[in-house]
Each structure stands twice: as C-alpha cells, then as structure tokens.
Amino acid sequence: MGANTVHDTELRDELERRLATVESPGYDDPARADLPGRDIAIVWAFVVVVCVLAYIWGY
C-alpha cells in the first residue's frame, strides 16, 4: 500500500501542476486557435466533393 500512496501523490502533484499551467491567464493553447478561412473553405469543398461523388456512385 505504501508504494501506491507514493505513486498516487506523485500523480496528483503532476496533475495539479499541469492544471495550474493550463488554467493560468497567460496560457495560450495553439490547439484552440480558430481555423483560417482558407482551411475552412478547403474542408467544405472536400465535403461537397465527397458527397457529390457518393451520390453519383449510388450511396
């Protein structure tokens, strides 16, 4: 049981450290950035092309 307690404490400390980093006001997560308009247009064009091809194919 002693080893699990140490591991749990280390895990909890690491989790708290990471949460403090993410929740800090100055933290900027690049994964939360908006997609540029060009990328959105490319995705929509791809979706339309796939839908049209699926319709023509008979799905």
Q: 29, 36 in Cβ contact below 8 A?
A: no
- Using one digit for the tens of pLDDT, what is the confidence trace for 38-50? 999 999 999 999 9
Q: What are the domain boundaries of the chain?
A: 2-25+35-57
Q: Is the pTM of this model over 0.85?
A: no
Helix and strand tally (H, E) in the chain? 2, 0
Q: What percent of the chain has pLDDT over 90?
A: 54
